[in-house]
Structure 1
Amino acid sequence: MASSSSLAFALLIVLSLLHSTSSSRPLIGVTYAPPILAPTIANPHPPPPPPPDRVASIVTSLNIPAVRLPNSDPSLIRAFAYTNTTILLSIPNAFVPTLAANRTLAQRWLYRHVLPFYPRSKISLISVGNDIFDTTPDLSPFLLPAVRNVHLALHDLGIKKIPVSTTFSFFNIITTSFPPSSAQFQEPAGSLIMKPLLQFLEDTNSSFLVNVYPYNMYRLNCEIPLGFALFENYPFNFRDDLITGVRYTNLFDVMVDAVISAMAVAGHENIPVIVAETGWPSSGADASEVDATPALAEMYLKGLVAHLKSGMGSPLRREGVAEAYVYELVDIEVKGERSWGILHQNFTQKYEIEFSRACKIESV
């Protein structure tokens, strides 16, 4: 007898073949959290973060259509009012237990972070928590009740067009990345949390959010060629899924399709996928990270944006991901930490990424 995974994947392939040949281009945004710098001997008086209005102006000048705010700073939400920039808000993990226990507290959070600004600020989605399975696994049982309470609290306030979800890390939920057709959700979370969450997302027309870092996958698996992780196009730079016959030309699509396959096994293959974080560091935490360079980071980001803007989607989903957020807008530049920003700490460009069209900004 065929396994449930094989049957679900066969259905997924049939759906892919029946899908319209039309494609769509996902929304490409950035993550921004104000850098908070601690005083050091060399720099006892570090500069404060730039004013929120200046940040909004920079994002607009770069023609970035979407921004993800991990801390949901109200002053930043206000700064994006009356712009065309959509905003993905996140609720910190520490709030999850109280939101799960008390819908009134969920309303209180919305009164501070949503109600004063929406719809002038184009809030597109609220993520309750980020990578809880890894950072705060003891909060996992509270996750779905918290997501439900925020959803219900929005409806209590008459706001019905902002979906609610949560964000996961690829490495903490997926059993295997290759072949993608063999991927499933890790247990016991797959049955206890993922399946009921996916049902909620389907019922409320929400999306599945996941952090996808090909850089980390490349570092973990020495068999992955660097060019495969960087969207390079040259002969034999591909890997075939021998189960389905699907050919992959980049690691990003491999990881996205592994998520889609896991959702298919769980019975929810049609839920939109949003890549909440992706990027490539321009410097590593230590000297061992020889592939964390500005040149390779630029190659990854330009390859990613070109791939997403092509409208090709992924092999298992013609429309691909619905949105993708580059991590991150600005470097923090702390010793011993990776640098991910597309801008230096003074907000000058590290390299040009054409989200819409090329443009330049001045330092603050």
Structure 2
Amino acid sequence: MSMATFTLPFFLSLLLLPLFSLLTFAADNTTGTIGINYGRIANNLPPPEKVVALFKSQGINKVKLYDTDAAVLTALANSGINVVVALPNELLSSAANDPSFADQWVQANISHYYPQTQIEAIAVGNEVFADPNNTTKFLVPAITNLQSALVKHNLSSSIKLSSPIALSALQNSYPPSSGSFKPDLIEPAVKPLLDFLSKTSSYLMINAYPFFAYEANADQISLDYALFRTNSGNVDSGNGLRYNSLMEAQLDAVFAAMSALGYDDVKLVVTETGWPSNGDENEIGAGKANAAAYNGNLVKRVLTGGGTPLKPQDPLNVYLFALFNENQKPGPTSERNYGLFYPDEGKVYDIPLTLAGLSGAQTNPVNESKAQVPTTAPSSGNTWCVANANAGDEKLQTALDYACGEGGADCRSIQEGSTCFNPNTLEAHASYAFNSYYQKKARGTGTCDFGGAAYVVAQPPRYGTCEYPTGY
């Protein structure tokens, strides 16, 4: 039944729906998590104890490191912060060729600190496939030996192993449905890695930077599309899914690449993503305004729930890059300007990092030159709930019926002859109803999901001339 013809008696019939289906819409919580990469390639950073205090003050409880520094791991003990540590690329060959080395490394760097320091995963190497030192062949043997060491020390059920890969490991990434890994990587490394992750219920670590894609293709990629802002989106010609952000398209390309190899069960965690607040003249898009917009909108996207168009039920779990601007990093100016904080702990720009911080926050509180100011108005700090067109008409209609019936949404404005009846489409009507329900529930966690039929946006929905309220 379309929204154009519903009547109040029809709503009453919803009471006959199985109770569990209603509870699914109300209680399903697919919100993700936000963590931060704590890099230390700098000579002016505060001591680890002050950094841990900074994490706590910002509500951050997930941190990723690039080593197993003793002072840092000691400072994180009993902090309540979950930690991902790393075995650097230069140790891969030793861990791969010598099981006793792997065992001793785990004993000295993991079991010595765990569980007081809540180590939850080990990143084995970093972007190994792109390592100029040709360490790819050592990756899976090193992971295998480290897993044996974790088993020996009774840590394998608590600590996951994986390895962050760059998007350059893909042969194809556009459209997302055509995602595939480079052929020369598949048999030697990718398939053995995915097989290990599948068997140990671990996840693939992905370093994804829409900034790089935008910088290289600014004449073809919309800035709004790269920054999670309202845009017309792109429809994947291969699967018909609509993408409204470059990040989600990148992740679904990885999902498609894994699926092509038969590993649909392996999940993803974004172990690095960010946007530089400064850059060289030729680094198009670098700047505080865009960095604040990208990271701020990404945090909202993650913490208010839902997955990618291809995997809408899998929450997004993301580690922002990075905590500090690091003054000793080599390369272009952008490399030293990814931090959310200056070394003196002052904010480079102000964005919310927790769900509680989303209310009233702005993602673009800075003024910059015309070339770096976003092309559309920044978010007011409010959020809205809209329909996920990729969920399909049946799921949208069922969720719409629930929202307008048992859910108690105010759906009078989308009845025929009312102010928001046009456009008379299922997506538009469902968006209005979902938003009404979401706002009435005070935008609480899990109230904009409807079994994957809805998601939160940081810009007012645009369906005709209809106004979408932010409170009732």
TM-score range, shorter-chain basis?
0.7 to 0.9
Aligned counterparts, 1:324-343, within 5 A? 324-333=318-327, 336-338=332-334, 339-343=337-341
Distance in 1 (CA, whole Å) between partners of 2:341 and 2:226 is: 22
Distance in 2 (CA, whole Å) between partners of 1:346 and 1:195 is: 44
Compute the displacement of 1:321 (Å): 5.0
Q: Are 2:302 and 2:316, in contact at CA under 8 Å, matched by a contact in 1?
A: no
SS across alignment from 1:138:
coil
Correspondent of 2:261 among 266, 270, 276: 266
Q: Which runs of 5+ in 2 are unaligned?
A: 1-23, 359-472
Distance in 2 (CA, whole Å) between partners of 1:256 and 1:168 is: 12
Q: Give CA deviations for 1:23-79 in whole Å, capped at 9, x if unaligned.
A: 522221000122433xxxxxxxxx4x3221111111111101200001221211121
Correspondent of 1:33 among 16, 30, 39: 39
- Tell me what 2:450 maps to: none
Q: Does 1:91 align with 2:84?
A: no
Q: Report how many residues are paired.
A: 326
For the structure 1 residues 117 and 321, does the alpha-carbon distance in structure 2 shift closer, same or farther, using more than 3 Å as the test?
same
Correspondent of 1:181 among 177, 180, 185: 177
Identity %: 29
Aligned counterparts, 1:76-225, within 5 A? 76-136=72-132, 138-160=134-156, 161-171=158-168, 173-221=169-217, 222-225=219-222
Q: Give CA deviations for 1:232-253 in whole Å, capped at 9, x if unaligned.
A: 114x2x0000111100000010
Which one-letter code corresponds to 2:39 in the other structure? A
- Tell me what 1:41 maps to: none
Aligned counterparts, 1:264-303, within 5 A? 264-284=259-279, 286-303=280-297
Q: Are 1:201 and 1:207, in contact at CA under 8 Å, matched by a contact in 2?
A: yes
SS across alignment from 1:114:
helix
TM-score normalised by length of structure 1? 0.86
Q: Does 1:319 align with 2:313?
A: yes
Q: Which has the higher contact order (CA 8 A, sep 6+)?
A: 1
SS across alignment from 1:25:
coil
Which one-letter code corresponds to 1:311 in the other structure? G
Q: Are 1:184 and 1:261, in contact at CA under 8 Å, matched by a contact in 2?
A: yes
For the structure 1 residues 319 and 81, does the alpha-carbon distance in structure 2 shift closer, same or farther, using more than 3 Å as the test?
farther
Q: Are 2:215 and 2:284, in contact at CA under 8 Å, matched by a contact in 1?
A: no
Compute the displacement of 1:192 (Å): 2.0
Which one-letter code corresponds to 1:184 in the other structure? S
Which one-letter code corresponds to 1:143 in the other structure? L
- Looking at CA atoms only, which structure, 1 or 2, has the larger radius of gyration? 2
Compute the displacement of 1:84 (Å): 1.9
Q: Give CA deviations for 1:297-326 in whole Å, capped at 9, x if unaligned.
A: 000001100111121210011234552110
Distance in 2 (CA, whole Å) between partners of 1:321 and 1:192 is: 30
- Tell me what 2:347 maps to: 349
For the structure 1 residues 70 and 267, does the alpha-carbon distance in structure 2 shift closer, same or farther, using more than 3 Å as the test?
same
Q: Which runs of 5+ in 1 are unaligned?
A: 1-19, 38-46, 360-364
Compute the displacement of 1:219 (Å): 1.6
Which ranges of 4 or more aligned residues in structure 1 deviate by more than 6 Å?
A: none
Compute the displacement of 1:176 (Å): 2.2
Compute the displacement of 1:226 (Å): 0.7
